[in-house]
Amino acid sequence: MAGPLASLKVVEFSGLGPAPLAGQLLADLGADVITIDRKAAPADPTDINRRGKRSVVLNLKSPEGIEAARRLIASSGVLIEGFRPGVMERLDLGPDSCDSSLIYARMTGWGQEGPWAQTAGHDINYLALTGALHAMGDADRAPVPPLNMVADYGGGTMFLLLGILSAVIERGVSGKGQVVDAAMVDGVPAMMGLIHSMLARGQWSETRGTNWLDGGAPFYRCYTCACGGYISVGALEPQFHALLLEKAGLPDDHQETQNDERQWAARHVSYAAAFRCKTRDQWADVFMDSDACVAPVLTFSEAQFHPHMAARQTILAPDGIAQAAPAPRFSRTPAAMPKSPTAIGADTDDVLEGLGYEAKARAAITG
């Protein structure tokens, strides 16, 4: 295995959402990630969260399957699961059943404890409870969910990974593992330090669409272009704002009153009219190589072909399936380029053999 995490062995109980992404990102960086699956299935190159992982099918309804899972967990340094609280305990695979050196990483929306811990939810619900969703979208309509990237993957996956790697470092000192309780409703507020600071200083209004970063400022929002495409404008700092005015042909005297909120509504209108005069790609050429903080709004299918993204090979297409390259990048221990996912259960025999099971014993374990 290549990458900085080549010494890390992880067992992941397969599921949906932020936990599989965490496993994928660990595998991208070289970790040996083995998923425990319920039923074999053909390889699916579009199931990107499975890339770089090995898969073993175990019957967790049988004593033999549970015992095999215990052996696999005992041979690993990290366990990832994304079930509701109590599910793993009912399988007799909870933290108390595992070695004290294991890092037991649990991913949920609401957390392991609390009045809502046992209720269902999705990204939009977790985001709603943090206050963040209320701030997203236009002022004259209901809040708009930002795909599922903020709560599921930002507040979920990234904090699960932070917890795992923090626990790995601590284990190197103490020799002990621990439970990592990663909850999306904890992770999203943890990313809101700037917003909480601005709220405390009276610099943020809870009226949507009236602030610096929520589309209220005419110099920090998206505009429709002549072609129907969009251009993103993020000229917050005065020196960048001055370049925006110059290159977009907007009035110079706007620089003096950039942050005068009384002017913003009128400037939304005038700036929108200005940006409708050229196509998205024409504006991209106007602002090319400038510090005006302006960029074209690309579709998913366009992103990989932008010169900057293409130069960095940020998006790859193994087997014709567009997907992100491993990130971040390392100078001394670079990650290998990702390979397409293998079939679910493709590694069952190899994994069970490595755990000491002979061929005759495997049928009861997997069936």
H runs (alpha helix) in 38-82:
63-74
CA distance 74 to 99: 7
Active-site residue flag, 196: no
Backbone angles phi, psi at 206, to 5 degrees: -80, 5
Active-site residue flag, 96: no
| DSSP secondary structure letter of residue 344 | B
CA distance 241 to 45: 44
Sequence-ordered list of residues with C-beta below 8 angstroms from that of 297, at least 6 positions apart, any chain? 222, 229, 230, 231, 232, 280
End-to-end Cα distance, the chain: 30
Q: b vs e for 185-214, b when ≥16 Cβ sit within 10 Å of the residue's Cβ?
A: bbbbbeebeebeebeeeeebeeebbbbeeb
- Rounded to 5°, the CA angle 334-23-52 comes to 55
Task: State the DSSP string of 92-109.
Answer: T-SGGGS-TT-EEEEEES
Decide: 144 and 215 in contact? Cβ < 8 Å.
Answer: no
Identify the active-site residue in 44, 47, 99, 122: 122
Which residues partner with 105 through β-bridges? 80, 180
Backbone angles phi, psi at 65, to 5 degrees: -65, -40
Strands (E), the chain: 9-13, 32-37, 54-57, 78-81, 103-108, 179-183, 220-224, 230-234, 294-296, 315-316, 323-324
Identify the active-site residue in 32, 123, 152, 214: 152
Sequence-ordered list of residues with C-beta below 8 angstroms from that of 39, at least 6 positions apart, any chain? 57, 344, 345
Catalytic residues: 122, 152
